[in-house]
Amino acid sequence: MEQKKRIAILGSTGSIGTQALQVIEEHPERYEAYILTANNKIDLLIQQARKFLPDAVVIANESKYCELKEALADLPIKVYAGAKALCEVVESQSIDMVLTAMVGYAGLRPTMAAIRAGKPIALANKETLVVAGELINALANEYKVPILPVDSEHSAIFQCLAGEMNNPIEKIILTASGGPFRTCTKAELAHVTKEQALKHPNWDMGAKITIDSASMMNKGFEVIEAKWLFGVRPDQIEVVIHPQSVIHSMIQFEDSSVKAQLGMPDMRLPIQYAFSYPYRIKSSFDRLDFSQCNTLTFEKPDVERFRNLALAYEALKRGGNMACILNAANEVVNAAFLADRIGFLDMSDIIEKTMSQAQFIAKPTYEDYVATDNEARKIAEELIGNKR
């Protein structure tokens, strides 16, 4: 057996981060949690650090540094704080892989730092590719760094590609559960609450992505993510609603053959596959029981009720910084919906308006993305203010 893989988990206290630690815990002879980082959840970070004894921990919120340092004073764990430290820790010689499991645009800079340090990326932070997919791909090529998908749909496609050499993809079919509001009319959607939106039928995830799933923006982001991960055109990516979430996604090849990856909805599988790739290792996860899933259904997504999906395709077709604008506006409206400041349907309205008002840049640099993110957030905030 080769040496233990030392993994830096950026965002260890979130849904993906905690499940990644379960995978590591199940395979202590293979994996080691080498770096743990959190944005704010200091109590859980302390608990994880005491259990997994990483080389270093980082808390992004600098005001919590002293509390963290004190809580770990009896252990030989390095303690850092701040956004800059997040980018610096990933450069450590000893790290074999970086799992990017933080939420939103904040994942972009640390992911770039990890690529520049030559670290293979297990990518769970899809916003990184949504915001700056072209830039990230160019950087990953330059530093010869693999990007392994953790998102369950993209892991499914990645698994279907194993053994296919470079056989061209004719079409990617991303499955979507449809979320808690799949059968709601548009009139009903106007009045749904965040409590209803937070109850996802199949997947247990963090609040931001659960709202994105209910609004279908998550699937829109995944279309964009698929383009950058698998090098296909937007018209080669199809979304199909599959409420049972048993098929995690599919590829259609040029000979008409369709390959699918199936399994229980459990994020630990794609996390583990990214860690173990190209190998598969034994897991304790629940097995699919076909006698229990006798109905698999499929339907076309309705972009009239769920306009975010259409907006994401539009952003992808327009290219440049448009998906960065889409993401920034979405982060603002997602937080506003969670704060009861706007209604469910206002989210798409504000995103669409932000896309038409923010400055379009056809060939953005990193600095352009930063400026775009700022500008789009301001525009979206103003639009929310005007609604009230």
Cβ distance to Mn ion smaller for residue 174 or 232: 174
The one-character DSSP state at 304 is: T
The Cα–Cα gap between 87 and 137 comes to 18
Cβ distance to Mn ion smaller for residue 152 or 321: 152
- Closest approach, Cβ 385 to Mn ion, in A, equals 32
Cβ distance to Mn ion smaller for residue 13 or 249: 249
Residue 71: count other Cβ atoms within 10 Å of its Cβ: 19
Nearest Cα neighbor of 285 from 19, 78, 6 is 19
Q: Which residues bind Mn ion (CB under 5 A)?
A: 151-153
The single residue listed with the structure tokens 């599919």 is: 250
Measured from each CB, the residue nearest to Mn ion is: 151
Question: Alpha-carbon torsion 343, 104, 146, 313, what sign?
Answer: positive
> Burial level of 189, CB count in 10 A (0-12/13-18/19+)?
middle
Cβ distance to Mn ion smaller for residue 151 or 331: 151
- Closest approach, Cβ 194 to Mn ion, in A, equals 20
Bond from prior residue into 301 cis (ω within 30 degrees of 0): no
- Closest approach, Cβ 36 to Mn ion, in A, equals 23
The Cα–Cα gap between 2 and 21 comes to 20
- Closest approach, Cβ 178 to Mn ion, in A, equals 13
The Cα–Cα gap between 269 and 20 comes to 10
- Closest approach, Cβ 221 to Mn ion, in A, equals 9
Cβ distance to Mn ion smaller for residue 46 or 150: 150
- Closest approach, Cβ 214 to Mn ion, in A, equals 13
Inter-CA distances, 169 with 154, 202, 227, 250, Å: 14, 28, 12, 10
- Closest approach, Cβ 270 to Mn ion, in A, equals 9
Cβ distance to Mn ion smaller for residue 34 or 158: 158
The single residue listed with the structure tokens 């669409």 is: 352
Cβ distance to Mn ion smaller for residue 32 or 153: 153
Cβ distance to Mn ion smaller for residue 152 or 261: 152
The Cα–Cα gap between 108 and 136 comes to 9
- Closest approach, Cβ 139 to Mn ion, in A, equals 23
Indicate the SS3 state at residue 245: coil
Inter-CA distances, 273 with 3, 39, 156, 379, Å: 17, 26, 10, 40
